[in-house]
Amino acid sequence: MLLKLNNIFKWVQSGGQRVFLLKDINLSIEEGEFISIMGPSGSGKSTLLNVIGMLDDFDEGEYNFLDESVHNLKEKHRANLYKQYIGFVFQAYHLLDELTVKENLEMPLLYSKKSSSERKSLVADMLDRFNIVGKKDLFPSQLSGGQQQLVGIARALISSPKLILADEPTGNLNSKQGEEIMELFKQLNDEGVTIIQVTHSKKNAAYGSRVINLLDGRRI
């Protein structure tokens, strides 16, 4: 068991009424799964992903990640938890424009205080593995969207997380690039990484092992 959500509620107050973003979500995910979260706009997909990623709070319910009770943790501990175990992939890549590909990859390692030699070898491995050695000194603006997302995924993977959270990772890509990225996810999943993606596309969802459908904050 990697994580388990029990009766998760999340709401905002609007005009004196509670508007539910997440309503009674129950979900458990095992290591090695590849999950797709689907649903129309505003159904709470990204919110759920952010709750799982511990970037966002919830108002009610229990969340256990590995053996920790996330709902009882202080923010700092929660942050340490996600830093250690979770990698994020964004629709808009969110690479840092001022840094080269190599430096973008290196950044999480700097924050986890890896030694310089360790950083070098990990970055080199990653560049090799994604076949982007030739691009290591380019800046993000010099890459195509697909290449940028490749770097984004490599950056998410570099600190060997147990779980990758991807929020519409192919949303900004054309179909061919999108396919390549999905193939990559599939391959990573085969290598043992747990993946949760948010997607609009049935085709992309098909790469996963399980689909979770949301509507107005509820699982259906």
Partner 1 sequence: MFKNYIKIAFRSLKKRIFFTFLNTFGLAIGIAGAILISLYIYDEFSYDTMFKDADRIHRINGDIKFGGEARKFAVTPAPMADALRSDFSEVEMVTRFRTWGSALVRKADTEANIKEESTTYVDDSFFQMFGIDLLVGDKATALQEPNTLILTKSAAEKHFGSLKNVLGESVLLNNTETYTVVGVIEDLPLNSFLREHTVFMAMAGYADSKIVNWGSNNYQTFIKLIPGVDVADIQVGLQAFLGKYVIPGIQQFMPGVTEEQLRAAGNHLFYDTVALTDIHLSSNLVAEITHNNDIQSIYILSFIAIFLIVLAAVNFMNLSTAHSLKRAKEVGVRKTLGSNKSELVQQFLIESGLISFLSLVSALIIAIIALPFFNELADKNISMPYTSPVFWVILLGATLVLALFSGSYPAFFMSRFIPVKVLKGGGQNSVGGGTIRNSLVIFQFAVSVLLIISTLVVYQQLEYIQDKDLGFSKDQVLIVNDVYAAGTKAETFKKQVKDLGFVKNATLSSFFPTPSNRSDSTFSPKEGGEQQEDAISMQIWGVDYDYVATMDFEILEGRNFDTQFGNDSTNIIVNETAVKNMGLSIKEALGKQYTPDMGADNPLYYTIIGVVKDFHFSSLKDNIEALSLTLNSSANSMAIKLNAGNFSNAIAAIENIWSEMAPGQPFDYYFMEDSFNRTYEAEKRLGNIFIIFTMLSILIACLGLFGLAAFNAEKRTKEIGVRKVLGASVGQITYTLIKDFLKLVGIAILISLPVGWYAMSKWLEDFTYRIEINGWVFVFAALLAVIIAVLTVSYQSIKAAIVNPVKSLRTE
Interface ranges with partner 1 (CB under 8 A): 50, 53, 55-56, 76, 79, 82-83, 88, 90, 92, 94-99, 103, 106-108, 110-112, 155, 159
Q: Least distance to partner 1 from the beta carbon of 140, Å?
A: 11
Name the residue nearer to partner 1 (CB basis): 112 or 209.
Answer: 112
CB of 141 to partner 1, least distance (A): 10
Kindly tell me which of 138 and 211 has the beta carbon lying closer to partner 1: 138
The span from the CA of 63 to the CA of 68, in Å, is 8
The alpha carbon of residue 16 and the mean position of all alpha carbons in its chain are separated, in whole angstroms, by 33
- Rounded to the nearest 10 degrees, the angle between the axes of helix 101-111 and helix 145-157 is 20
For residue 109, give both structure tokens.
């390692």
Our CB check for partner 1 shows the closer of 108 and 169 to be 108
Which of 94, 50, 46, 23 lies closest to 199 in space, CA to CA?
A: 46
Residue 159 vs 201, nearer CB to partner 1: 159
Which residues on adjacent β-strands are paired with residue 25?
A: 8
Minimal distance, residue 179 CB to partner 1, in Å: 25
Please say which residue, 152 or 208, places its beta carbon nearer to partner 1.
152
Nearest distance, CB of residue 206 and partner 1, angstroms: 27
- Taking each continuous run of H as one helix and of E as one strand, the counts in the chain are 7, 10
Tell the smallest beta-carbon distance from residue 160 to partner 1 (Å). 13
